[in-house]
Amino acid sequence: MTTSSPHVIFITMDELRKDALSCYGNKAIETPHLDKLASESIRFDKAYAVSPWCLPSRSAILTGQYPHQSGAYSNFRKCELSADIPNLFGTFREGGYRTAVFGKCHFSPVPYSQTRPEVTLAYEAFRDYYLKLGIDHLDLQDDKQVSVWFYDDYAKELDAAGYLEAYRQEVWNEKANGKVFKFPGPPEWHPDSWVGRKAVQYIESYAEDQPMFAWVSFSGPHFPFDAPEPYLERVDMSKDTPRKWKADEFDDKRRIHHGSYHGPGGIEGSGAAADQACKNHSETYWQNLRRSYYANISQIDDAIGMILESVYRKFGDNALIIVTADHGEMLGNHGLWGKNNCAYEDVLNVPLLVQYPGERQGSATDAKVMLTDIMATCIKTAGLMEKKTVGRDFRESIHAGGYPYVFAEGEGFACVSDGRHKYVHVQKNGQQTCEMFDLAHDPYEYANIVDDPAYSAILSDLRGQLLNLYMNKVLA
């Protein structure tokens, strides 16, 4: 199989913090395969997710459009991504590529209300919908919990191997385990090992006379925190960075995460806590959670190492390789875990490594970019017909010095940052809550300065930037 067009290998991890990788400073684990890629790629230090939720962020990546433009803005409402909107799969298929996905899609809201602890439900309608977006080959593992709730491709194989029932029991046992448990099966049957294995098998056997676009989409380290036992042994928690939090941070009831911390809260970590209050998680709980999270990342790093080895052996340097996350995770900072309604850097500032075809020179940049740049970058590198997006090629962004403002949004949520100042607006049940931070003076984002008159001009500018963003849609 030969082709002059570059193959595109796009790898994502779900809910991955930037500083959880050793190439971004983590000391508790080593991620040698991603470290090596980072040393031969462009490492972005200011790459931003477009939403703190999976579906809006993934849909923005896939289309190069903001959630309010594509209509795919919520994990919870029926607002699945329309196949009529140009996306990466369809664009690459039109351009002569064969498209493949291994792992998580989540371009349609999960019907959470239908889930039952005693049964794994049919999922064929979702699989059929994903294929209609332009996917030629799909090995579907549509989130760890989804594979317990619904019979996707991974669940079918896990069931045949005899481990689905035990996994389902652990996932549903949230009140007892707090969503922290050891994977109840051999490591090779963990969702992330399965995804990595499927990707390697496909790449190694690829013989089509056309270039490949492959999205390898790991569900981890997204909760539940379920690393297999052998990977837990790789974590040295004595080298972990202490959690960044203040006991009185959310005493003001007007704070967005007052309920998340004091209860009853809506962030994911509240559901696993006594009285739905993250403050009730013990320090032992936080240590176990973080250890499992890091161990899962070590596991995924192994899988990525095998994938990259296959890519280089099969395609040489004729590949564009992008590695990133759809969003991050609080992981105990601010006394929270999860990402719901989070505009903190923990969640929005994600890792991003980009290796262009034929280039192995490592570099780092602090130019602000957004994940909506991924579609434009892939299309331009492959030489395909340009599609209208809000993004641009990553190298163009670097040359321009990055974006002056970055945005994030979702259902009832909007955020804008100029790199130093950040404004967040959350609207729920008819009530609105606003926060603003100065990252230069308050890098951990503890102090809400939205009412500080010294920042009134900056606040006005940031609100104006959000207004302009949405007016472009309203008056289009």
Percentage of residues of the chain with pLDDT beyond 90: 94
**What token pair was written down for 416?**
């804008």
Q: How far apart are CA 167 and CA 184, in angstroms?
A: 6
Across the chain, what does the average pLDDT equal? 96
DSSP 8-state assignment for residue 70: H
Q: Please give the pLDDT value at position 476.
A: 59
Range 301-308 average pLDDT: 98
Q: 161 — phi, psi (to 5°)?
A: -80, -10
* Residue 423: strand pairing partners: 416, 436
- What's the pLDDT band for 295 if we cut at 50, 70, 90? very high
Range 142-146 average pLDDT: 98
Range 371-387 average pLDDT: 97
CA distances from 70 to 240, 333, 425, 427 (A): 39, 32, 20, 20
DSSP 8-state assignment for residue 451: T
CA dihedral 137, 142, 148, 152 (to 10 degrees): -20
**What token pair was written down for 406?**
């970055």
Which residues in 230-333 belong to E strands, given as ranges? 319-325
DSSP 8-state assignment for residue 241: P
Q: 46 — phi, psi (to 5°)?
A: -130, 55
3-class SS of residue 165? helix
Q: Encode pLDDT of 234-250 as tens digits.
A: 999 999 999 999 999 99
